């Protein structure tokens, strides 16, 4: 098969994935397939088996992901005549889906920031249910990768959604309490979520519940920055936070490891 992408020019030399795709209801498998296809050069000629091996994905979820991309108008596959009487297949990828752009309620054409303000879900609050918070697409991609490399990589989509909502709530609390941070509040949210995640991986039988309980406790105690967590750790146990996270050899550079998703899970 041959991969064809939307043509680029001098003004648009890079592949751009529209936020409507990132914020859509596409499954994680469909998104991963999309990113992989777009990450290769034009006229790349893989075989489905090679692609599945690269994705570490079996036939059934792979076929389901391809079907999703077709249904959303992001991918079309055309059978053509190949050499020696064999058929070939051309895969045409659309980096922006017109159907998603029309139906998505999570994106804004005029949005200038990559950070999305957490907000209440009107329908849920009207029904008296729990508030749902949103978090940016960039955060979700980064944290999803962090999860995929961890011992909890097999967690359900429902658990992942719960953690994204928790991150949105934490980010919301950091903002409304006026925490002054030189960078993005989502960056601080990401670091704190990863700390809670690392502390939870051996908390069986319910590590996800432990993460939620931990972050909820931080919010109730107004521990809304990494500085707060480090100070609280010293006051409670006279130990540095990086020691508790089993990053003794890294020391104060552990923040950079969290940012780069460079955690050595074998040491945890």
pLDDT at 21 > cutoff 60: no
pLDDT at 107 > cutoff 60: no
pLDDT at 256 > cutoff 90: no
* Three-state secondary structure string covering the chain: CEEECCCCECCECCCCCCHHHHCCCCCHHHHHHHHHHHCCCCCCCCCHHHHHHHHCCCHHHHHHHHHHHHHCCCEEEEEEECHHHCEEEEEEECCCCHHHHHHCCCCCCCCCCCCCCCCCCHHHHHCCCCCCCCCCHHHHHHHHHHHHCCCCCCCCHHHHHHHHHHHHHHHHHHHHCCCCCCCCHHHHHHHHHHHHHHHHCCCCCCHHHHHHHHHHHHHHCCCCCHHHHHHHHHHHHCCCHHHHCCCCCCHHHHHHHHHCCCCCHHHC
- pLDDT score recorded for residue 136: 87
pTM of the shown model: 0.53
pLDDT at 90 > cutoff 60: yes
What domains appear along the chain, each with residue ranges and CATH number? 2-103 (1.10.10.10), 122-267 (no CATH)
pLDDT at 119 > cutoff 60: no
User: How far is 165 from 51, CA to CA, in rounded Å?
Assistant: 32
pLDDT in tens, 129-147: 456 788 888 888 889 889 9
pLDDT in tens, 32-85: 888 777 776 656 666 677 778 778 888 888 888 888 888 877 888 777 776 665
- pLDDT score recorded for residue 80: 72
Residue predicted with more confidence, 188 or 91:
188
């Amino acid at each position: 098969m041959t991969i064809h992408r939307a043509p680029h020019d001098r003004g648009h030399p890079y592949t751009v994935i529209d936020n409507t795709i990132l914020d859509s209801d596409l499954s994680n498998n469909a998104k991963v397939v999309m990113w992989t296809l777009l990450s290769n050069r034009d006229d790349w000629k893989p075989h489905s088996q090679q692609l599945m091996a690269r994705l570490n994905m079996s036939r059934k979820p792979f076929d389901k992901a391809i079907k999703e991309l077709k249904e959303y108008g992001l991918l079309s596959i055309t059978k053509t005549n190949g050499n020696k009487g064999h058929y070939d297949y051309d895969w045409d990828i659309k980096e922006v889906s017109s159907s998603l752009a029309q139906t998505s309620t999570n994106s804004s054409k005029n949005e200038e920031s990559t950070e999305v303000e957490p907000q209440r879900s009107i329908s849920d609050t009207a029904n008296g249910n729990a508030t749902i918070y949103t978090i940016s697409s960039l955060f979700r991609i980064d944290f999803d990768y962090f999860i995929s490399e961890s011992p909890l990589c097999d967690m359900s989509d429902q658990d992942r959604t719960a953690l994204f909502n928790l991150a949105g709530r934490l980010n919301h609390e950091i903002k409304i309490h006026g925490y002054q941070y030189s960078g993005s509040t989502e960056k601080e949210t990401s670091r704190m979520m990863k700390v809670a995640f690392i502390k939870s991986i051996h908390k069986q039988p319910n590590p996800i519940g432990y993460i939620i309980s931990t972050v909820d406790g931080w919010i109730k105690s107004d521990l809304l920055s990494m500085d707060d967590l480090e100070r609280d750790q010293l006051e409670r146990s006279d130990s540095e936070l990086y020691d508790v996270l089993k990053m003794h050899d890294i020391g104060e550079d552990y923040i950079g490891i969290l940012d780069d998703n460079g955690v050595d899970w074998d040491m945890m």
